[in-house]
């Protein structure tokens, strides 16, 4: 790779309908503000990644609304699904043909000399992420299909970063699958992993791979509180640059007074995030 590639990272758009009483901010207006800013980015981005929780309820109507808002973007948009999305709602609302409406939305695309590989880590009914054996088989074949190109992985849930399971496993891909993913990605020229889900901007180096989590557009996690999940007003998006030397990410936050929007009990989250069989 001998040139720079610029892209945009959106995540946790949480687009909803006016009757959704579980939206704590005007995500449609936030998305419009962010897209207006994206239109000013120079050099012009070559693609846009939207890494999951595209909608708040996963219904087809919300996906149709998202499709209409994004219609004016004249570069490829790479979508991943998150725990708030549903596969059936996505396929219907985005008008994407699917032989099986319950099948994971795993796909890949080459844009700007970058091989973008998207994995569906959503698990119906659960907050945390999983990757099943068939998806790992697909991923291995797909990574091998363009061995000469640098690869960008898009997956809503970030991998588990530690060397043993974390008590807040609802924040990540199930730990055993995170370990399997690390082994599979080793030595395959992965320039980065783009994720969301945790609702705050964070960059980690995981087995030598940059993992970029975006705050998203719905609410921001107050990372100063660890006894509860406290959500405050906040939104941002990322501008990425891929060079021969690697990945750079810059974050563009929207102005915020960090007003409290909601508080969740960790006990409730842990109960809802219990991993399922996907070993």
Summarised one tens digit per residue, pLDDT across range 101-158 is 999 999 999 998 999 999 999 998 888 999 999 999 999 999 999 999 999 999 999 9
Give CATH for domain 5-272: 3.60.21.10
Model confidence pTM above 0.75: yes
What whole-number distance in Å separates Cα of residue 236 and Cα of residue 34? 8
Summarised one tens digit per residue, pLDDT across range 249-260 is 999 999 999 999
Summarised one tens digit per residue, pLDDT across range 223-277 is 999 999 999 999 999 999 999 999 999 999 999 999 999 998 888 777 765 554 3
The residue-averaged pLDDT of 20-43 equals 94
Task: With CA atoms as reference, report the closest residue to 53 among 26, 78, 83.
Answer: 83
Q: Report the sign of the C-alpha dihedral through residues 92, 35, 201, 205, in that order.
A: positive
> Where are the chain's structural domains?
5-272
The two structure tokens encoding residue 208: 């030598």
What whole-number distance in Å separates Cα of residue 252 and Cα of residue 270? 31
The residue-averaged pLDDT of 11-35 equals 92
168 band by pLDDT with thresholds 50, 70 and 90 = confident
Counting beta carbons within 10 angstroms of the beta carbon of residue 24, is it exposed (0 to 12), middle (13 to 18) or buried (19 or more)?
middle
């Amino acid at each position: 790779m001998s040139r720079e590639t610029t892209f945009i990272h959106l995540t946790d758009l949480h687009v909803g309908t006016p009757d959704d009483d579980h939206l704590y901010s005007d995500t449609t207006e936030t998305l419009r503000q962010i897209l207006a800013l994206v239109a000013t980015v120079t050099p012009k981005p070559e693609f846009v990644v939207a890494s999951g929780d595209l909608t708040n309820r996963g219904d087809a109507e919300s996906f149709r609304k998202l499709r209409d808002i994004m219609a004016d973007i004249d570069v490829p948009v790479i979508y991943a699904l998150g725990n708030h999305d549903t596969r059936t709602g996505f396929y219907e609302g985005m008008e994407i043909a699917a032989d099986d409406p319950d099948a994971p939305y795993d796909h890949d695309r080459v844009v700007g000399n970058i091989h973008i590989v998207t994995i569906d880590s959503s698990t119906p009914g659960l907050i945390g992420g999983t990757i099943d054996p068939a998806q790992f088989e697909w991923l291995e074949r797909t990574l091998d299909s363009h061995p000469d190109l640098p690869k960008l992985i898009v997956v809503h849930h970030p991998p588990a970063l530690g060397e043993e399971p974390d008590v807040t496993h609802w924040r990540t891909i199930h730990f055993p699958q995170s370990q399997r993913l690390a082994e599979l990605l080793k030595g395959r020229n992965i320039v980065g992993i783009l994720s969301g889900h945790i609702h705050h901007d964070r960059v980690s180096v995981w087995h030598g791979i940059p993992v970029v989590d975006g705050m998203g557009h719905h609410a921001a996690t107050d990372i100063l509180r660890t006894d509860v999940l406290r959500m405050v007003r906040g939104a941002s998006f990322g501008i990425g640059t891929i060079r021969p030397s690697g990945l750079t990410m810059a974050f563009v936050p929207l102005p915020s007074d960090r007003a409290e929007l909601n508080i969740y009990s960790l006990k409730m989250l842990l109960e809802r995030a219990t991993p399922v069989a996907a070993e």
